[in-house]
C-alpha cells in the first residue's frame, strides 16, 4: 500500500508557508502562491484530508516557561514482545515531559527527548519511567547544552513524485 500523496509546486509552497506560520490567513497564502482564496482553501483542505497536514500547532518557547533543558535518553531492553511494548508505550504517553520517543536501529532500542526544568526535574521523570516499565537494562542520559538548529516540519523541496 502506497500512502504517498502527490503534491505539486504550489502545494509545496503552501506547506512551507504553513510550516512557518500555521495561523497565516488564507488571503496571505493565496497571494504568496499566486491563487485566489477559494482554490487555495481547497488545496489546504485536501492537504489536511489526505493527512499531509496532520495538524496545526503553536510552538512554545520552553525557556520562557522554565523548561529550558533537554535530556536525550537512550534505552536498551531485553524483552521485545507486544505486552512489554504496550506497557512502554502507555508509560511514554503518560509522561508529558517526554516530547519524542523513537524506536531505533543499532545498539539502542529507544531514544527519548525530554523537556525539563533542571536535573532534579529530570530525576523525577526518570523515577516515573523506571518505576512504570519493567525490563529496562540500560537507561543513559545526555543533556543538551545548546540548540544549534531547530526546524519543525519537513523539507518539502526534496519531495519527489
Domain coordinates in residue numbering, the chain: 9-58, 62-143
CA distance 88 to 156: 33
pTM exceeds cut of 0.95: no
Question: Is there a shared CATH topology between the 9-58 domain and the 62-143 domain?
Answer: no
Q: Which CATH architecture has domain 62-143?
A: 2-Layer Sandwich (3.30)
For residues 128 and 143, give the distance between their C-alpha atoms in angstroms, rounded to a whole number.
18
Banded pLDDT at 1 (limits 50, 70, 90)? very low
Over residues 94-106, the pLDDT tens digits come to 999 999 999 999 9
Q: Into which CATH architecture does domain 9-58 fall?
A: Orthogonal Bundle (1.10)
Q: Give the pLDDT confidence of 8-25 residue by residue, as tens digits.
A: 999 999 999 999 999 999
Amino acid at each position: 500500500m502506497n500512502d504517498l500523496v502527490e503534491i505539486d509546486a504550489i502545494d509545496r509552497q503552501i506547506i512551507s508557508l504553513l510550516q512557518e506560520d500555521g495561523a497565516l490567513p488564507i488571503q496571505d497564502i493565496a497571494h504568496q502562491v499566486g491563487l485566489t482564496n477559494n482554490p487555495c482553501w481547497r488545496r489546504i483542505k485536501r492537504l489536511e484530508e489526505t493527512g499531509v497536514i496532520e495538524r496545526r500547532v503553536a510552538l512554545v518557547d520552553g525557556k520562557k516557561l522554565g523548561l529550558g533543558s533537554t535530556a536525550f535518553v537512550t534505552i536498551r531492553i531485553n524483552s521485545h514482545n507486544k505486552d512489554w511494548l504496550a506497557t512502554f508505550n502507555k508509560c511514554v504517553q503518560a509522561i508529558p515531559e517526554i516530547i519524542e520517543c523513537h524506536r531505533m536501529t543499532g545498539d539502542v532500542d529507544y531514544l527519548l527527548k525530554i523537556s525539563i526544568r533542571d536535573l532534579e526535574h529530570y530525576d523525577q521523570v526518570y523515577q516515573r519511567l523506571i518505576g512504570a516499565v519493567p525490563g529496562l537494562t540500560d537507561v543513559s542520559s545526555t543533556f543538551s547544552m545548546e540548540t544549534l538548529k531547530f526546524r519543525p516540519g519537513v523539507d518539502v523541496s526534496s519531495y519527489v513524485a
